Structure 1
């Protein structure tokens, strides 16, 4: 399957083929299927974020003991790893310099 250039912004969970505004945070080369998987991961992050919002309003649940926060962190790390694997050479270099996205055993 053919890979195309996409621009990704983690904060807004945006994936676009058109560079504009702040969506050029990360540049990736991906197939339609890879973009679909990344969008699914963003959807999971969104769901996790809602769970952390709910938890924030329950004062007796400690942050360090919260499954929703753990899932959010894990899914965010997974998204960064996906982006790193699909990254353009320039983006990959920038991520390596910032120590973002590499698997733990690659660091």
Structure 2
């Protein structure tokens, strides 16, 4: 795989990673190598899988959210996603993540 960085456009809500800025709406612009994008895709896939597990868990009413491993897994993976976007993102992406307080929340929990 190449080690050169390419520009990607990220939509966090649906886990979309695109090289086209006009294909759909996007949240963050990043520069990443193939390996970094593969890692980010794996994080999005983990969230998707954990979301399904959480959906099935939600139909088990005696398990509360704060005792739910699937929700913990989603929270942890979302931290990794935003940390990676922050590290690879352009200045606008970094500023948005800083102003939303996402990075400080990640650092507090580490």
Say yes or no: TM over 0.5.
Answer: yes
Q: In structure 2, what is the equivalent of residue 89 of structure 1?
A: 91
Once the two structures are TM-superposed, the CA of residue 25 in structure 1 deviates from its matched residue by: 0.5
Q: How many residues align?
A: 104
TM-score for both structures, normalised by structure 1:
0.90
Which secondary structure does the structure 2 equivalent of 1:52 belong to?
A: helix
TM-score for both structures, normalised by structure 2:
0.88
Which secondary structure does the structure 2 equivalent of 1:77 belong to?
A: helix
Which secondary structure does the structure 1 equivalent of 2:60 belong to?
A: coil
* Alignment pair present for 1:19 and 2:17: no
Residues in 2 aligned to 1:39 and 1:7: alpha-carbon distance in whole angstroms: 12
Once the two structures are TM-superposed, the CA of residue 89 in structure 1 deviates from its matched residue by: 1.5
Residues in 2 aligned to 1:50 and 1:5: alpha-carbon distance in whole angstroms: 30
Q: CA RMSD in A?
A: 1.3
Runs (4+) of structure 1 exceeding 4 A deviation are none
Once the two structures are TM-superposed, the CA of residue 75 in structure 1 deviates from its matched residue by: 0.7
Which secondary structure does the structure 2 equivalent of 1:83 belong to?
A: helix
